[in-house]
Amino acid sequence: MQQTWFYTLGAVVLVIYVTPFLWMILGSLRREVEIFQYTYPLTWRTFVPVEWSLKNFLDVLGMSPEGNSFGLNFGRALANTALVSAAVVASSLVVNTMGAYFFARLDFPRKGFLLLFVIATMLIPFEAVMVPLYIVVRSLHLQDSYWALILPWYASPFVIFALVQFIGEIPKELDEAAIIDGASHVGVLRHVIIPNAVPGLVTTALLEFQFIWNLFYWPLIAVGSKDLQTIQVAIAQQTTQTQVYWGRIFAGSVLASVPVILLFLLMQRYYVKGVVMSGLKG
Instruction: For residue 13, give every residue at least 6 positions away whose Cβ sits within 8 Å of its Cβ, in sequence order, or none.
Output: none
Does 71 score more than 90 pLDDT?
no
Structure confidence at residue 45 (pLDDT): 80
Mean pLDDT, residues 104-132 taken together: 90
Give yes or no: residues 144 and 266 share one domain.
Answer: yes
CA distance 230 to 215: 9
Nearest to 114 by CA among 129, 99, 126: 99
Q: What is the mean pLDDT of the chain?
A: 89
Residues 142 and 221 in one domain: yes
Look at residues 133, 163, 157 and name the one whose alpha carbon lies nearest to residue 147: 133
Q: What is the pLDDT of residue 278?
A: 58
**Residue 174 and residue 269 in one domain:** yes
Q: Are residues 209 and 104 in the same domain?
A: yes
| pLDDT grade for 275, boundaries at 50, 70 and 90 | low
Share of the chain above pLDDT 70, in %: 95
Please say if the pLDDT value at position 87 is more than 60: yes
Rounded to 5°, the CA angle 17-23-61 comes to: 120
Judgement on whether residues 48 and 115 belong to the same structural domain of the protein: no
* Claim to verify: residue 154 and residue 235 sit in the same structural domain: yes
Cα–Cα distance between 209 and 122 in angstroms, integer?
17
Residues 116 and 236 in one domain: yes
Preceding omega of 41 cis (within 30 degrees of 0): yes
What is the three-class DSSP state of 239?
strand
Q: Find, among 22, 28, 84, the residue nearest to 60 by Cα.
A: 28
CB 159 within 8 A of CB 96: yes
For the stretch 204-260, pLDDT in tens is: 999 999 999 999 999 999 998 889 999 999 999 998 888 899 999 999 999 999 999
Is 90 exceeded by the pLDDT of residue 64? no
pLDDT band at 51 (very low <50, low <70, confident <90, very high): confident
Domain encompassing residue 43:
2-53
- Tell me, yes or no, whether 24 and 157 share the same domain: no
Residue 36 has pLDDT above 90, yes or no: no
Burial class (CB in 10 A: 0-12, 13-18, 19+), 164: buried
Question: What mean pLDDT comes out for the span 62-87?
Answer: 90
In a domain, 26, yes or no: yes
Neighbours of 46 (CB within 10 A): 14
Which is higher by pLDDT, 247 or 6?
247
Do 97 and 33 reside in the same domain of the chain? Answer: no
Whether 128 and 161 map to the same domain: the answer is yes
Q: Is the pLDDT of residue 274 over 70?
A: no
Q: Residue 204: give its domain's CATH number.
A: 1.10.3720.10
Q: What is the DSSP letter of 35?
A: T
Residue 136: what pLDDT?
A: 94
pLDDT at 281: 41
Q: Are residues 48 and 83 in the same domain?
A: no
CA distance linking residue 111 with residue 115, whole number of Å: 6
Which contiguous run of DSSP H or E holds residue 39? none
* Higher-confidence position of 40 and 216: 216
State whether 8 and 103 are in the same domain.
Answer: no
Predicted confidence band of residue 282 (pLDDT cuts 50, 70, 90): very low
Is it the case that residue 270 has pLDDT exceeding 80?
Answer: no
**Three-state secondary structure call for residue 244:** strand
pLDDT at 277 over 80: no
Report whether pLDDT(108) > 70: yes
Which among 208, 230, 227, 212 has a CA at the least distance from the CA of 78?
Answer: 230
pLDDT band at 279 (very low <50, low <70, confident <90, very high): low
Q: Which amino acid, one-letter code, is at 241?
A: Q
